[in-house]
Structures are given as C-alpha cells and as structure tokens.
Amino acid sequence: MRAARTLAVTATAIAAVGLAAPLAAADHGPTTVLSGGNSGGNGGGNGGGNGGPTDVTVNPYDVHPGSTLTITARGCNRGGTVTSNAFPETTLSGNNNGVSTAVARVYNHATPGNYNLAVRCNGSSSVVTQSFRVLPGRGAQGGLGGSLAPSSTEMAIGGGLVAAAALGGGLFIARRRRVTGAGV
C-alpha cells in the first residue's frame, strides 16, 4: 500500500519535472561567437610577453541592456583593459596560458544598435576591436501580475500539473476510503 503511494508521488514529481524541462531549455537560444583579427601593431602571439591581442571573441554577440558579455583575448598574458561605449571599462585577466577573459555588464540604458569594444594589453599599444549588438530592452518581467499574459506553453504545463495533482489526490482519497471503510 505504501509502496503504491510512494510510486504515485514519485511518478507525479517526475512528470512535473519532465514537463517543465523543455520550457526551461527553450528560454535560452544559441549564442554566436565572432572572432576579431589583429588590427596591426606589434604582432603579438601567445608567447611570454604582452605583444598585443591577436584574437578577440565576444560571447554572446547579441545582448540586451543589463546583460553580460564575456570577452576572450589571446596574447594578453599580463592582463589588459576592455573599453566600449556600451559598458564601463573592464579589466582583462592576466595568465600564462595566453588566453585572458573579462566579463562586462552592458549599461541598463544602452541604446539598441551595433557597438564596438576595444581590447588593449597591459604594456602594449596594440588595440584589437570587436563588434557586438545591443538588442531592444525587454522591460521588467517581474512576473505575470497583469502586465503579461501567460504563453500557451505555460498554460499547457500548468494545466498538466493541475491534472496530475487532481488525479493523484483522487487516487489517494479513493484508497484512503477503502482502507477506512474496511476497518469499520
């Protein structure tokens, strides 16, 4: 008896997670990684010095205001800086493997459009630029609250969960009545 109840609760929980997983995965689209070339200067390379950045990537390419970008540069072993009109100056990490990274948060008030960022290694005058795009803001999505209607996917998942809960509750009550009625 208890095993059947445990099995029913477990099956309901698995169904709820299984129905919610596609919605959670569908919320994040693919990212585009673009690579910038060397814009001249000291040549650089992945050697021990800071000859200048030789390759810059931006991930994701398309961001909303308030979102973060990850900038990766090769050749800046002693670190550097990343600048743009769309975010405050950011420090590029220094390391010995030739790949440095920085995370920049786009201003909340950034105007939608194409922007460039510039990467400069410490101790080098060479600068590499890379473009990225700021998408129109989505506004505050702090919950449904009357400002947004639920999507058809959200309605389907909610309906499925309510149906599963009703079925599980009905089975529980039916089994409980049988056990209680048999003992009287």
Span 83-125, pLDDT tens digits:
999 999 999 887 778 788 999 999 998 999 999 999 998 888 8
Q: What percentage of residues in the chain have a pLDDT greater than 70? A: 64
The predicted pLDDT at position 113 comes to 93
Q: Which residues contact 98 (CB under 8 A, 6 or more apart)?
A: 46, 47, 74, 75, 77
Span 120-168, pLDDT tens digits:
988 888 899 999 999 987 666 666 555 567 788 888 999 999 999 999 9
Query: For residue 13, what pLDDT band results from cuts at 50, 70 and 90?
Result: low
Helix (H) or strand (E) holding 63: strand 62-63
Residues in the chain, total: 184
| 3-state percent breakdown (helix, strand, coil) of the chain, nearest 5 | 30, 25, 40
Tell me, yes or no, if the pTM score tops 0.75. Answer: no
